Each structure stands twice: as C-alpha cells, then as structure tokens.
Amino acid sequence: MSDKVDITLDINGAAHAISVEPRKTLVDAIRDDCGQTGTHIGCEHGVCGTCTIILDGEAIRSCLMFAVQADGRKIRTVEGLADGETLHPLQQAFIDHHGLQCGFCTPGFLMLAANALEHNPDIGDGELLDVLASNLCRCTGYQNIIKAVRAARDTMRGAKV
Amino acid sequence: MERARAAPAPEKIRRASAWTDKKETMKPASFRYHAPKTLDEAVAVLAEVAPDDGRVLAGGQSLVPIMAFRLAKPTHLVDINGIKELAQIKVDGGKLRIGACVRHAAFYEPVCDGPLGRLLATVVRSIAHHPIRTRGTFCGSVAHADPASEWCAVVATLDGEMVAQSQRGERIIPAKDYFAGIMTTTLQEDELLTEVRLPMPAPDTRVGFQEFSRRAGDFALSMAVTIYRLEGGKIADPRVGIGGAEPRARRIAEAEAALRGKQPGADVFNAAGEAAAAAIDPLEDIHTGAEYRRDLVRAMTRRALDSAA
Ligand SMILES: Cc1cc2nc3c(=O)[nH]c(=O)nc-3n(C[C@H](O)[C@H](O)[C@H](O)COP(=O)(O)OP(=O)(O)OC[C@H]3O[C@@H](n4cnc5c(N)ncnc54)[C@H](O)[C@@H]3O)c2cc1C
Ligand code: FES
Ligand code: FES
C-alpha cells in the first residue's frame, strides 16, 4: 500500500511539486523531498520542537502532521527568515546573545519565536516564557535564548516606532 | 589440483548518504488517506473503514506520535480538518457547544462570558505547549481520553455531553457513561465525536483549577477542577473533579460532601482534599507511587479551592 499522492508544498514562497506516501510526515517531506534541510528532526513525536515551522501563520510541530495535509498551504521555515544577506533580528540576536551552541535546536526556536513576535510584538516576558518552554535545548541552558528573544522583541519594537 | 580461488570481485560499497538517499524510510505504517469535506461524507467513510481499524485524524497531536511508535497502525485515516461545519464554537441553550475541529488555542481568550470562559482559559495553559495547542483539538482530547487530559477532567466535573454521529444516527452520551478507563471511552469505532457540550455554570460560580506536572507542558500527575457558589455565605452546588490520578477523570462525591453547606476556608478546603485523597484508587508507576498520588490529589484539591474565583 505505497500509493503516492501528488502534492505541492509552498515553502517560503517556492512551490515544490512532490509525490509522497500519505504516511510521510511534513518534516520528512520538507527535508527529503524538497531538500530544505534547515528544519531539523529530533524526537519525531512532538516533544523536542526542533521541527517547528509556521503553517498558515501558526507555529506547529512538523513531525506531527502528514505532508498530504499541507498540500497548497503556506509553509515558512528557517530558510525564509533572513532577507537576502540581512539576518532577521532574531537571528542576529541569537548570535549577539549566544543563544546557540551546537545549533541543533535553533531553527525550531527561531520559528517559534518569530511566530510569537509576529502574533504579538508587545508580548510580555511571562507569555514569552510560556511559548519558549515549548522547545528543548540541550546546550544553552535556555537563559541566553530567552535573552536573545527579548532583545529581538525590543529591537523590532524600536524599529517600528 | 585445486585451482586457486580468484579473489572475489570487490563488492560495490553502498553509502547511506543522508537525505539524498532515495531509499525511503518512514516511521508510521502505511495507511490510506481520506479528506472528506462534509460531515455526512466523513461518517460514511468512517463506517466503511472502521472495521479495518480506520480512524479519525483530528489534530494528530496524540495519534501521530502513537503511529510513529507503531503502537497504532491504522489502515485508513479520515482527516476531519477540512470539514468547516465542525470548526464552530457557540453558546446555545445554556450550553457551550465545542465542535470537533476547535483547537486548544481557541481557548486562550475566554470563548464565552462568565466562569466557564475563565475556567477554560486557565486550563488551556496547562495543556502541552503552544505549537501543539495550535493543532490539537478539544474533542480529540476527549476522544483520546488520556487519564491526564485536562479537558476530560473539565468535562467530567461539569457533566458535559458528548455528541456522537454515525450512519446509525446521532446519540448524546453523558460524561458519567462516557469515560470507561485509560484511553477508553464508550464511543464506538464508527462514531465521530462531532461536538462536546458543556453546561454554563451560573454567573456567580467560582471556578478553580490546579495541576502538578514535573515540567511545563508534561502530562500532569494529578489535577483538580473545583466549582462552587455561595448562598448566604455557605458553599452551594460544589463540584470536585480529579484527573490524572485514576484511569479516568471523575467527580469525587466524598469531597463535594465535605464542602456542601460549609463556610469556605482553610479547614473546609483541607477536609475536601483529605476526602478526595481517601476516595481515589490511584494509578501507580515506577516514578509515582500510590501514596504520592494521594498526596498530590490532596494538595491539588485544596489549592484549586483556594484559587477558585
Ligand atoms: C509533547 C506533547 C505534550 C502533550 N501534553 C498534553 C497535556 O499536558 N494534556 C493533554 O490533555 N494533552 C496533551 N497532549 C495531547 C494533545 O492535547 C492532543 O491534541 C490530544 O490528546 C488529542 O487531540 P487531537 O486533536 O490532536 O487528536 P488526534 O491525535 O488526531 O486523535 C487522538 C485520538 O482520538 C481520535 N479522535 C480524534 N478526534 C476524534 C473525533 N472527533 N471523533 C472520534 N475520534 C476522534 C483519533 O482517532 C485518535 O484515536 C500532548 C501532546 C504532545 C505531543
Ligand atoms: S522532531 Fe518534531 S517535536 Fe521533536
Ligand atoms: S544549541 Fe545545542 S541543542 Fe540548543
């Protein structure tokens, strides 16, 4: 029963026409079929958050969805965060505040944080903590990730005024 | 004379090269995918595939992990996410009606005025994490019936009703006849849970919720939902629901009796906690002994009552 289904994944504005088995998870399709390997895979059962992407404006775990379910929908991954050679304020803040060490969790944290700041540019520290608690990092001890996201929030807010 | 054996031709070395390798490996077992657009269609497909372990796919936040572990190998999935009529949430006839595609994140802001909206907005913060709440559904939790599901505890405490639809018709299952055990309900395999209905408590009702889990977003080891009103300074219509401590969430009559007609205060809340702890038949596992769970139930009940506003 390996009947494949033809779907189109719209990743960062580029259309990827692929053919997948229904059982292929979205993260596997993004990486293996579309070659967009910025999104990482860790636990594959929803716990670690390294596969976090933005689907139709909402942060989701891409290991907990099948690729067929994302046919034609708007997907955003870490590859789409920078504007050409200019890093997204979050990416710059992660560098400035040492928000990463090995970098394995980073794509997930960036998409998670980007989505939270887009939904609420004035997000409070408490609510930010609730969101950032979603993902695991085995290196940084989290404090620098939190610092980086707060700093990016403040920069982005400053830039708007 | 034996001929010297020719050296074997060097075997072609196959490199497993990361993502470029065309050999496909996938964790879940194969299934056929159905994406009905209407409820009628969904119920018809489900009737057909249910006998072969065909299942409903809602948020996928419990089902997909279980499939990744191959603890479930459904042969068909009926994806209900495209059915618009199931995405509704509304107040009707004194009840909050929550459709099957309403996601956890819908409850961040109160979905209705009064104590129920407040209670649901408090409880949702304890369910999993934000990116799971954007997909997971209220009804999916109630269909899955994890002993530590917060929504199941709310449904049991409020005596909610489950609306089940199949080709055989619609039936309404009261909470007391619905939860059957660990991840077990009286929903039949060809039935789709289209809606959960929660009665709206009176506007002056006080609602409280507390749970204990080891890390933010983990399944709770115990939780309490407490609800009461005051009549002439005395507790009226008390409800105490406990989840995460037994195979299924339920109201604890002994704890409610300890509250009824009493003046709210530390002694009375302690007594209710004691009564709840004594009444349960706790789940046990290697990390959590029965006595520890009783302690947690005692503490969660007391704290939920303390926090009730
Ligand atoms: C890391 C992690 C942490 C979590 N923590 C918590 C937590 O703290 N508390 C908690 O309550 N949950 C938690 N969850 C589970 C989450 O809340 C799920 O969303 C929920 O249990 C199931 O809802 P779903 O919509 O995702 O259902 P699915 O995963 O799609 O389905 C679950 C089961 O219910 C059946 N089903 C779903 N909808 C229907 C329907 N309408 N009719 C008939 N059958 C149906 C499916 O066939 C399947 O068997 C967690 C999940 C993860 C990955
Ligand atoms: S890989 Fe998706 S949450 Fe870990
Ligand atoms: S930087 Fe290594 S896991 Fe987070």
Q: What is the least distance, in Å, from the CA of A59 to any CA of chain B?
A: 5
Q: Which of A40, A98, A101 to mutate to test the pocket of ligand 3 (most atoms within 8 A of CB)?
A: A101
Query: Which domains can be identified in chain A, with CATH numbers?
Result: 5-80 (3.10.20.30), 89-160 (1.10.150.120)
Contact A133, A91 (CB under 8 A): no
Share of chain B above pLDDT 70, in %: 93
Q: What is the pLDDT of residue B24?
A: 76
- Kindly report, residue by residue over B277-304, the tens digit of the pLDDT: 999 999 999 989 999 999 999 999 999 9
Select from B62, B190, B210 the residue to mutate for testing ligand 1; criterion: most ligand atoms less than 8 Å from CB.
Answer: B62
Among protein residues, the one with the nearest Cα to ligand 3's atom 4 is A137
Closest CA to B130 of A15, A79, A75, A133: A133
pLDDT digits (tens, 9 = 90+) for A67-87: 999 999 999 999 999 999 999
Kindly list the protein residues whose Cβ atom lies closer than 6 A to any atom of ligand 3.
Answer: A 100-105, 137-140
CB B79, CB B35: distance < 8 Å = yes
A65: distance to nearest CA of chain B, Å?
7
Q: Residue A4 is encoded by which pair of tokens?
A: 């494949």
Mean pLDDT confidence for B82-88: 98
pLDDT class of B217 with cuts at 50, 70, 90: confident
pLDDT at B242: 98
pLDDT 10s digits, A106-155: 999 999 999 999 999 999 999 999 999 999 999 999 999 999 999 999 99
Residue B2 scores a pLDDT above 60: no
- Report H helices in chain B: 39-49, 63-68, 115-123, 130-133, 138-144, 150-158, 253-259, 266-279, 290-307
Whether A6 has its CB under 8 Å from any CB of chain B: the answer is: no
Higher pLDDT, B24 or B240: B240
Q: What is d(CA B42, CA B32) in angstroms, rounded to the nearest whole number? A: 14
Q: How confident is the model at residue B8 (pLDDT cuts 50, 70, 90)?
A: very low
Give the model's pLDDT for residue B15. Answer: 41
Residue A64 to residue B31, Cβ atoms within 8 A: no
CB < 8 Å to B27, chain A: 25, 44
The per-residue pLDDT for range A87-98, each reduced to its tens digit, is 999 999 999 999
Model confidence at A7: pLDDT above 60: yes
A-to-B residue pairs, Cβ atoms closer than 8 angstroms: 97
The arithmetic mean of pLDDT across residues A42-55, rounded, is 97
User: What pLDDT sits at residue B216?
Assistant: 85
Q: Compute the average pLDDT of residues B251-270.
A: 98
- With contact defined as beta carbons under 8 Å apart, do B272 and B242 qualify? no
Going along chain B from its start, the domains and CATH numbers come out as 31-79 (3.30.43.10), 86-199 (3.30.465.10), 206-308 (3.30.390.50)
Interchain contact, A65 vs B77, CB within 8 Å: no
For residue B171, the distance in angstroms to the closest alpha carbon of chain A comes to 30
3-state class (DSSP) for residue B87 = helix
pLDDT on residue A90:
98
Q: What mean pLDDT do residues A54-71 have?
A: 98
Which has the closest alpha carbon to A49: A117, A105, A113?
A105
Question: What is the dihedral angle through the alpha carbons of B15, B17, B23, B24, rounded to the nearest 10 degrees?
Answer: 150
Residue B4 is predicted with a pLDDT of: 46
User: Distance (Å, rounded) from C-alpha B132 to C-alpha A150?
Assistant: 23
Which of B19, B32, B129 shows the shortest C-beta gap to A37? B19
Residue B124 CA: distances (Å) to CA of A160, B141, B217 = 32, 12, 10
What's the pLDDT at B193? Answer: 98
Task: Please give the pLDDT value at position B13.
Answer: 41
Provide ipTM, 2 decimals: 0.95
Average pLDDT over residues B139-160: 98
